[in-house]
Amino acid sequence: MRVKAVRRLVIFPLVLVTAVFAVSCVGLPHDDNPDQRFYGYFLRDVETMQAIGLPVYWLGSDFTVDGLVFRGPYGAEFGAEVEGGIQLTYLAPLQVGGNTSLDLIVRSRDAWTRAEHQVRDPGLPGVTRRTVTVGSREAELIFVPLGTRPVNTLWLVLDLGDAVVLAQALAGGAMYPGGPDYNPFINNPDLLVQVIEENLRPYPE
């Protein structure tokens, strides 16, 4: 293992999804150059984590899922601080406009211990879980519904020993009534397992 249109967001105390807000709204250029300003915020946060001795994991600069090219990682200018960790966002432009996203929240072991209960028990009805394997490690998929959506938020929790990674995918709405979601991970959660297994590694490898 190497340790692939957000339109509605679930407000949740652990995952400060406001990090997606600024990047998603401005959109991304349809070329191979990431938005340097938001990439710069990521580099700023990496320096902070490294200065205090905390590990940083990422998915590289791009990966492809179901025909969509996700690029990043991006940080936020403010409002996305994670206690004892870092949040980074990958975005893929949609043909209809806007972007769909995948977020990573990487926390130290101590920080995860303080936040774990909020993920394991989000206090919402209908939450389901599934144990999966990522490389040689066990991980957990957590499915959070909302209203008529069977899955509005998808989390994957992976304990790497020195850090705990939480991958988050948010539903973007159906492409057409009764059709698949704009976010490929919502349609097929196994894609999230695959992307983490194939791409997750320590920064800056």
Q: How far is residue 6 CA from its own chain's centroid?
A: 12
Does residue 2 form part of some domain?
A: no
Q: Quote the CA–CA distance of 127 and 130 in Å, as a whole number.
A: 11
Does residue 66 form part of some domain?
A: yes
User: pLDDT per residue over 59-71, tens digit each?
Assistant: 999 999 999 999 9
Helix (H) or strand (E) holding 58: strand 57-58
Q: Quote the CA–CA distance of 139 and 130 in Å, as a whole number.
A: 9
Q: Quote the CA–CA distance of 167 and 196 in Å, as a whole number.
A: 8
Does residue 106 form part of some domain?
A: yes
Does residue 76 form part of some domain?
A: yes
Written as six digits, the tokens of 20 are 């997606």
Residue 98: give its domain's CATH number: 3.40.1000
Q: Report the pLDDT value the prediction gives residue 22, as an integer from 0 to 100.
A: 38
Q: Quote the CA–CA distance of 13 and 24 in Å, as a whole number.
A: 20
Does residue 108 form part of some domain?
A: yes
Lowest model confidence (mean pLDDT) among 32-46, 116-130, 142-156: 32-46
Does residue 141 form part of some domain?
A: yes
* 166-193: average pLDDT: 95
Does residue 191 form part of some domain?
A: yes
Q: Which domain holds residue 92?
A: 18-202
Give the ranges where the chain is alpha helix by DSSP (H): 18-26, 36-51, 109-120, 184-187, 189-199
**Does the pLDDT at position 11 exceed 70?**
no
Does residue 12 form part of some domain?
A: no
Overall domain count for the chain: 1
Q: Report the pLDDT value the prediction gives residue 18, as an integer from 0 to 100.
A: 37
**Does the pLDDT at position 54 exceed 70?**
yes
Q: Is the dihedral of CA 31, 33, 38, 43 positive or negative?
A: positive
What residues form DSSP beta bridges with 132? 139
The model carries a pTM of 0.83
Distances (CA, A) of 44 to 108, 167, 201: 18, 21, 19
Q: Quote the CA–CA distance of 85 and 14 in Å, as a whole number.
A: 11
